[in-house]
Amino acid sequence: MRVALKLAYIGTEFHGSQIQPNVETVEGELFKALRNLGIIESPKSANYICAGRTDAGVHALGQVFAFDTDKMNLAIPRVINSELPSGIWVWAHAEVPLSFDARRDAISRHYRYVMSGREYDISKIREASKFLLGTHDFENFSRTNGEKSTVRTIERIDARIDGELIKIDVVGNSFLWNMVRKIVTALSMIGNGVRDTDWLLQMLNPDIYEEGIEPAPAYGLTLLKVNYNEKIEWIEDSYSIRRASEQNQKRILRHRVMAEVLEELISHE
């Protein structure tokens, strides 16, 4: 049988999602849990496939991965979570066809970037984002990783103010390495008046214009959802969702306290 799982993780606690030697990664922890539980012998023998990798520091809510197993009774969120660190949790599962490919069968991916909104003109960001919609060559918005083509399609970009923050949602068929974070950098530069839309149009024409820009910090980016054409009957695990919520409330409290401590440290009082 083949099972697909939805995975969430706090990216700042790991060196990216893809397994690497000698560092803690999301896949490294996941493979260890699956082997310890006897769900798979190895990723290769189980035909393990992930919807896509995320860089160090990037978070996920709806990462999807799939593998073959004869232990369907164990391949459920609350069992797998018992072997995972608190910064990673599975919250839904589904039985899928043996041919299901979590990466190639995905039709779009939805990312959200959260950043401070104090210094940016949201109307300029929204206007500039319109030029990024559709199919373009995003070579100037990527970090070269041997891709055969740097042409990608952006379906939707929404930017909105939420309190003192700006949230930018980006939906596309697939993304190049660092692409979303560099899009955010470009929109930020336009939003604070450093660059304009003429420059953005030049950036979308790498054959005649080339410029490297730094990606926005990884901690602001989350992979929210991976979308598929075929209907997948996801079964959500309420216990796993509730347990993760409790753990994250503790993290939220800690960060709020730390924010107050840092404010006091710079107050000079």
Binding residues: 111
Residues in the chain: 269
Asked whether the beta carbons of 84 and 246 are under 8 A apart, the reply is: no
* Helix ranges (DSSP H) in the chain: 26-36, 77-81, 122-129, 179-191, 197-203, 238-265
**What separation in angstroms does the CA of 95 have from each of 199, 225, 226, 233, 262?**
47, 18, 17, 8, 47
Alpha-carbon distance of 46 to 31, in angstroms, equals: 11
Buried b (16+ CB within 10 A) or exposed e, 137-147: bbbbbbeeeee
Residue 80: phi, psi to the nearest 5?
A: -65, -40
Q: Is 55 a catalytic residue?
A: yes
**Catalytic residue chosen out of the listed positions 55, 101, 105, 207:** 55
Active-site residues, by number, are 55
